Amino acid sequence: MSELSISKTTERFAVLAREAARCVRCPSMSGRTAVLSHLNGPLTARIMFIGEAPGRKGADRTRIPFSGDQSGKNFDRFLTSINLRRDQIFITSAALCNPQTVSGANRKPTQQEVTNCSGFLRRAIELVDPFVIVTLGSVALDALKRIHYHQFTLKEDAGRIIEWQGRLLVPIYHPSPQVLASHRREAQQLIDYKVVAQAIQSGLKRAITENTT
Ligand code: SF4
């Protein structure tokens, strides 16, 4: 990216982050603030991870996606397993605010909340322009349908490299302790991350070929 386009992208991202910070589209999220800032990762990252939503003890508190809770610790361990550093990736989520139950516990964002937030996700993808997108869990995978329809499911497509909108998409499972305990165990998730590493290599090769032709 040229210096001029980096500066334009930075300006456009600042506008996006300000809009998200003021957003009140989801009534049940009043009192929460969108997690979208420079702490989500460098705009020059070519790999984007999309989670479900900030966790109450995690990103809602730290403002850094996947940090401060057990999901963040698991995520860091999986990144390390493929020698991927946080400064090489941009992380966002299907819903940018922390969804809570009336008693204050984390809950999944509703379909309407994910739809409400899909414009922010679309614009983040356009700005960062990653060649690899990794969705963490079914909510994140479904969120992409609101941007460009697809029929992929976590059950059928987890750990596969798929073409989506000119990018390589790898749907994998969420790194939460609950998912690790009952849906996708550590050993299988480590295999999934190896596929992420393969996608990054393929995306890099493709980018080099495109730049030299
Ligand atoms: S989740 Fe997204 S759409 Fe809903 S209030 Fe937060 S920023 Fe707005």
CATH classification of the domain holding 53: 3.40.470.10
Q: Tell me the pTM.
A: 0.96
* Count: domains in the chain: 1
Report the separation in Å between the CA atom of 40 and the middle of ligand 1, taken as the mean of its atom positions.
16
Nearest to 46 by CA among 167, 163, 139, 129: 129
User: In this predicted model, what pLDDT tens digit does every residue of 172-183 receive, in sequence order?
Assistant: 999 999 999 999
pLDDT attached to residue 213: 67
pLDDT attached to residue 8: 93
Q: What residues make up the domain containing 22?
A: 3-212
Report the separation in Å between the CA atom of 141 and the middle of ligand 1, taken as the mean of its atom positions.
18
Q: Which residue in this structure is represented by tokens 């090769």?
A: 205
* CB of residue 96 inside a 6 A radius of ligand 1: yes
User: In this predicted model, what pLDDT tens digit does every residue of 9-27 receive, in sequence order?
Assistant: 999 999 999 999 999 999 9
Q: Which residue in this structure is represented by tokens 């020698």?
A: 83
